[in-house]
Amino acid sequence: MLKAILLDLDGTLLGNSMEVFVPAYLEALGGFLSNHVPPRRLVNELLNATRIMAANDGAGPTNEEVFASAFYPAVGRERAQLEPVIRRFYAEEFPKLRPLTRPVPEAPRLVEWAFGRGLQVAVATNPLFPRTAIEQRLEWAGVGVQEFPYALVTTYEAMHACKPHPAYYAEIFSLLGRAPEECLMAGDDWGADILPSTRLGCRAWWVANPAVRPPATLPRLMGQGRLSALLDRLLAAESGPY
């Protein structure tokens, strides 16, 4: 019986191409911090610290702490000195990236349906970003945390592993208090969203063009297509097993 739904954010709830968004984000952040760290050095060290954080395996500190231990020494700045500036970046500059994204019309309908059904809803976005950057993107997607009391939003402050590490999904199931078999993960990234979640026993919906052949046959893969197709499937299954 379906008890919880896990929703990826970028490319799933929100139209957001990482090839466009990430360079613009890095340029904006580099510019904003240029009085403290030369932009090129900042971007290089940010990417390096992000790689180290992405390897976090769930056994130790939070992603935020792993990032901080790698990043601040590498740029030669005190965390206490730079963190308030970064917070200001997220308050003042990050909102300006919104035009690079576009809402997915059916995202609010799917989230509303899930809450209406009494499911736990988790935003299962790769926890490389602070909470504010994720909450702002949810707002842009029309599914903000003011409107929807999510059971979990996987921020870098909260989580101890990243996609595609299975520990990331194991932590979600544990925080929700659910067996993987009671959950459904919807996401657009085969390697990060579909493979690791289904390996743990979760069912999955691949947000991909139905004409694209899945890289593998997975018994736990429920289907593929837009979120509207997933919603249609869930509505059709309401009277039976999902």
Fill in the amino acid letter for 146: Q
Count of residues touching Mg ion (by CB under 5 A): 5
Query: At its nearest, how many Å lie between Mg ion and the CB of residue 106?
Result: 16
Fill in the amino acid letter for 106: E
Among 7, 10, 130, 202, binds Mg ion (CB under 5 A): 10
Per CB under 5 A, which region of 10-18, 43-51, 79-87, 155-163 contacts Mg ion?
10-18
Per CB under 5 A, which region of 1-9, 34-42, 112-120, 149-157 contacts Mg ion?
1-9
Specify the 3-state DSSP secondary structure of 205.
strand
Is 114 exposed, middle or buried (CB count within 10 Å of its CB: 0-12, 13-18, 19+)?
A: buried
Asked if 207 contacts 186 with a C-beta cutoff of 8 angstroms, the reply is: yes
In the complex with Mg ion, which residue's Cβ is closer, 10 or 135? 10
Answer yes or no whether residue 64 interacts with Mg ion by CB under 5 A. no
Query: At its nearest, how many Å lie between Mg ion and the CB of residue 78?
Result: 34
Per CB under 5 A, which region of 80-88, 94-102, 108-116, 188-196 contacts Mg ion?
188-196
Query: At its nearest, how many Å lie between Mg ion and the CB of residue 227?
Result: 12
Nearest partner of 111 among 196, 4, 211, judged by Cα: 4
Answer yes or no whether residue 11 interacts with Mg ion by CB under 5 A. yes
| Nearest position to Mg ion, beta carbon | 11
Residue with the two structure tokens 């590498």: 74
What residues contact 99, with CB distance under 8 A and at least 6 apart?
Answer: none
In the complex with Mg ion, which residue's Cβ is closer, 73 or 191? 191
What's CA 77's distance to the chain center, in Å? 28
Helix (H) or strand (E) holding 6: strand 4-7
Per CB under 5 A, which region of 8-16, 22-30, 35-43, 234-242 contacts Mg ion?
8-16
Answer yes or no whether residue 188 interacts with Mg ion by CB under 5 A. yes
In the complex with Mg ion, which residue's Cβ is closer, 10 or 171? 10
Is 140 exposed, middle or buried (CB count within 10 Å of its CB: 0-12, 13-18, 19+)?
A: buried
Residues that bind Mg ion (CB under 5 A): 8, 10-11, 188-189
